[in-house]
Amino acid sequence: MNTNRLFLGTLAGFVGYFMAGFVLYTMVFKDMLASSNPGMAGVQSEPNMVALVVGNLAAAFLLAYIFEKWAGIRSLSSGALAGATIGALIALSYDSMINGTTTLMTWQGVFTDVLVYGLCSAIGGTLVAFGLSYKRV
């Protein structure tokens, strides 16, 4: 496994995750997420940018590691599809557990977040694949 490519894939994926998350969560789906998750209104505050950077880096590294070590994903379309699938499954797992143990989310909120995070992960996965394939001989 080439650590330089892994780093480049992670960095590219981070940019995709961070920008897609900003646009999708704070602009495009903001009202839909707020209305489908009424329990979240009491816990939302100003974003902790350090936590967001760490979380997006971890998500990008997860995809880069899977793509590079096990899946051999290099094409943009494969990266988008694999990223969307992995991201949606992670969101479904985590959000379902939050829904089952708290009053923060509803099932509508779970499925909305799965859609949004799946889209973010598709964009992140596309850029991870691009970073992993960059100047590959």
Per-residue pLDDT at 121:
98
Nearest to 83 by CA among 41, 38, 128: 128
Per-residue pLDDT at 47:
84
Per-residue pLDDT at 61:
98
Task: Kindly report the pTM of this predicted structure.
Answer: 0.93
Note the Cα 132 to chain centre separation in Å: 17
**Quick count: other Cβ atoms within 10 Å of Cβ 109?**
22
pLDDT per position as a tens digit, 10-60: 999 999 999 999 999 989 998 898 888 877 776 667 889 999 999 999 999
Answer whether residue 136 shows pLDDT above 80. Answer: no
Per-residue pLDDT at 135:
73
Token pair 């967001």 is found at 52
Question: DSSP of 61-96, one letter per residue?
Answer: HHHHHIIIIII---SHHHHHHHHHHHHHHHHHHHHH
pLDDT per position as a tens digit, 117-130: 999 999 999 999 99
First-residue to last-residue Cα distance in the chain: 14
Per-residue pLDDT at 6:
94
Half-sphere exposure of 134 (CA within 13 A, CB side): 17
**Quick count: other Cβ atoms within 10 Å of Cβ 31?**
9
Per-residue pLDDT at 49:
94
pLDDT per position as a tens digit, 68-101: 999 999 999 999 999 999 999 999 999 999 999 9
Per-residue pLDDT at 2:
83
Give the Cα separation of 61 and 78 in Å (integer): 17
